[in-house]
Amino acid sequence: MVQDVSTAEPERILRLTGVYHADGGLLGELRYVVGKLRGVTRCALCDITHGALRKKPAFAAWQRALPVPLALVHLNERSPEVARATAGRTPALVAHTARRVVMLLGPGELELEGSLEAFSKALTRAVTEAGLRW
């Protein structure tokens, strides 16, 4: 008996989108900052990507070294396909393939105390577990 062995390659990631747990624009940013200062709002992805006022240089260098583009967007800037993939679970990181948008990291997986090293490892693990490739 001949066994059917699939030789299909894993889907290739074309790009990534990170979704912050905050709205963009002046009012959205202001609401986030005030909420963060009051201790009622937080975004684990923001903690990874940004310092007090701007993008962390180490994150910017890491982002440039990725094999695919990574866009970072706010809740009100998501495309409909990213909004469907995240389905109210933000912050998040999704992968775009030729056929679909795949949630790689959700709110729980991004609770990494702002560690870029832990984020990089979590992303590598999530890509493998999703059966995707760079």
pLDDT band (50, 70, 90) for residue 5? very low
pLDDT tens digit string along 27-55?
877 777 766 768 777 899 999 999 887 99
List of E strands, 1-134: 11-12, 15-19, 70-73, 92-96, 101-105, 132-133
> How many Cβ atoms sit within 10 Å of the Cβ of residue 37?
9
Closest residue by Cα to residue 88 from 41, 19, 37: 19
Given a contact cutoff of 8 angstroms between Cβ atoms, the answer to whether 86 and 77 are in contact is no
Q: Which of 3-12, 54-63, 110-119 has the lowest mean pLDDT?
A: 3-12
Tell me the domain boundaries of the chain: 22-133
pLDDT digits (tens, 9 = 90+) for 53-105: 799 999 999 999 999 999 999 999 999 999 999 989 999 999 999 999 999 99
Q: Is 73 helix (H, G, I), strand (E, B) or coil?
A: strand
Q: What is the pLDDT of residue 6?
A: 53
pTM score: 0.88
Per-residue pLDDT at 2 exceeds 80: no
